[in-house]
């Protein structure tokens, strides 16, 4: 069967999330000590590909919840433009994520940080990897390891570790409670996602993924899944940014997926209405149905979670959509073209 491994790994996510939570709990005192001893004034999340995209969501969440300046930077930028990343005299903490713990740019970014005396924390699925050995502290996603090239359960379980970092601080109480509900909720969500995406966008020429705040990294990951697995043209934007030019591509044959946030709900509903007028098929994922919006597919999760934790539950939809669009045209999601699971330079 095409994509059997990828499908299995998509379905295994809730278990990987439970294991990640246990792993975080074991590491939490050590993480607290690192923050105490090094007292960072900024947190820089880094990685490559999917691991960079999860860094985006982790950074947006960390800053909002903890109130400490945070941003995401591709590991290649640390490598090529360290002066644009690190501010002289500052005390950043570098959080480096990598499924393999071996990706060249990420391992080099870690080494560059260490040479500058910067504190480092690794998030990985590979216990015995250069990242795990090189970081001051490393937190493992014990069930995130994959046979597949494309990241699914590794992505969501590493993202969960990244989000849990914010719960180790005052202000993280609600997030902590929300994140702990995810494994139980995930079982239902994965099934719904696989059922709902079977034919969605089957005849569509292009996909647009929109997400604001913590959902922005999710939009990028959805774009990457569609590109890697299904080789279908796909882009990712902040929702309102989409009006500033990219909207020109929209017409019949475009599927626009909104990864909804509460803060963005009203303005995104206006955008959805305009996009439908231009002929797009609009899919909205969110927590609750608001009644009046015009969309073609309304996925109402009804989980009563804040945006930051709910974002994780959007991932099975993005993964299942890409999986189905690949299999639907005879592509094997387990064997994406030109890709290997680790990029070594």
Residue 260 and residue 268: Cα distance in Å, rounded? 8
- Is 234 a binding residue for ligand F1P by CB under 6 A? The answer is no
User: CB 256 → ligand F1P: shortest distance, Å?
Assistant: 24
Residues in contact with ligand F1P, counted by CB under 6 A, come to a total of: 18
- Is 5 a binding residue for ligand F1P by CB under 6 A? The answer is no
Minimum CB distance to ligand F1P smaller for 123 or for 247:
123
Among 312, 300, 320, 16, CA closest to 150: 320
Residue nearest to ligand F1P (CB): 49
Among 334, 330, 339, CA closest to 202: 330
List 7, 62, 99, 315, residue binding ligand F1P (CB under 6 A): 99
Residues 101-120, one symbol each (x = binds ligand F1P by CB under 6 A, - = not), give --x--x--------------
Contact region with ligand F1P (CB under 6 A), list: 148-156, 204-212, 281-289, 304-312? 148-156
Answer for the pair 107, 131: CB distance below 8 angstroms, yes or no: yes
Contact region with ligand F1P (CB under 6 A), list: 143-151, 187-195, 278-286, 298-306? 143-151
- Is 23 a binding residue for ligand F1P by CB under 6 A? The answer is no
Answer for the pair 111, 79: CB distance below 8 angstroms, yes or no: no
Contact region with ligand F1P (CB under 6 A), list: 28-36, 147-155, 180-188, 281-289? 147-155
Residue 290 and residue 244: Cα distance in Å, rounded? 26
Among 9, 54, 31, 27, CA closest to 140: 27
- Is 342 a binding residue for ligand F1P by CB under 6 A? The answer is yes
Expressed in angstroms, the distance from the first to the final Cα of the chain is: 33
What's the per-residue H, E or C state across 45-78? EEECCHHHHHHHHHHHHHHHHHCCCEEEEEHHHH
Q: What residues line the site for ligand F1P (CB under 6 A)?
A: 47-51, 98-100, 103, 106, 149-151, 228, 339, 341-343
């Amino acid at each position: 069967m095409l994509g059997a491994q990828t499908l299995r790994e998509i379905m295994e996510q809730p278990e990987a999330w439970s294991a990640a939570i246990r792993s975080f709990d074991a590491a939490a005192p050590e993480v607290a000590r690192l923050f105490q001893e090094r007292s960072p004034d900024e947190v820089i999340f880094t990685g490559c590909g999917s691991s960079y995209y999860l860094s985006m969501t982790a950074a947006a969440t960390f800053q909002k919840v903890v109130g400490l300046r945070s941003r995401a930077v591709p590991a290649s930028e640390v490598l090529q433009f360290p002066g644009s990343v690190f501010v002289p005299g500052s005390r950043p903490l570098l959080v480096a994520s990598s499924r393999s713990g071996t990706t060249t740019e990420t391992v080099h970014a870690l080494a560059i940080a260490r040479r500058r005396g910067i504190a480092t924390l690794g998030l990985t699925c590979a216990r015995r990897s250069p990242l795990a050995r090189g970081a001051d502290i490393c937190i493992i996603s014990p069930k995130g390891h994959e046979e597949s090239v494309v990241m699914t359960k590794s992505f969501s379980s590493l993202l969960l570790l990244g989000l849990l970092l914010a719960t180790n601080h005052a202000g993280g109480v609600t997030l902590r409670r929300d994140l702990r509900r995810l494994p139980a909720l995930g079982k239902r969500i994965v099934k719904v996602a696989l059922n709902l995406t079977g034919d969605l966008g089957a005849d569509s020429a292009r996909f647009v993924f929109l997400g604001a705040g913590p959902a922005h990294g999710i939009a990028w990951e959805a774009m990457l899944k569609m590109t890697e697995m299904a080789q279908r043209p796909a882009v990712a934007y902040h929702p309102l940014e989409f009006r500033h030019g990219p909207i020109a591509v929209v017409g019949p044959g475009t599927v626009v997926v909104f990864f909804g946030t509460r803060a963005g709900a009203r303005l995104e509903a206006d955008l959805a209405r305009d996009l439908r007028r231009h002929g797009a098929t609009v899919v909205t994922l969110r927590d609750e149905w608001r009644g009046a919006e015009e969309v073609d597919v309304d996925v109402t999760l009804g989980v009563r979670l804040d945006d930051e934790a709910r974002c994780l539950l959007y991932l099975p939809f993005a993964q299942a959509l890409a999986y189905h669009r690949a299999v639907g045209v005879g592509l094997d999601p387990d064997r994406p073209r030109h890709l290997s699971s680790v990029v070594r330079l």
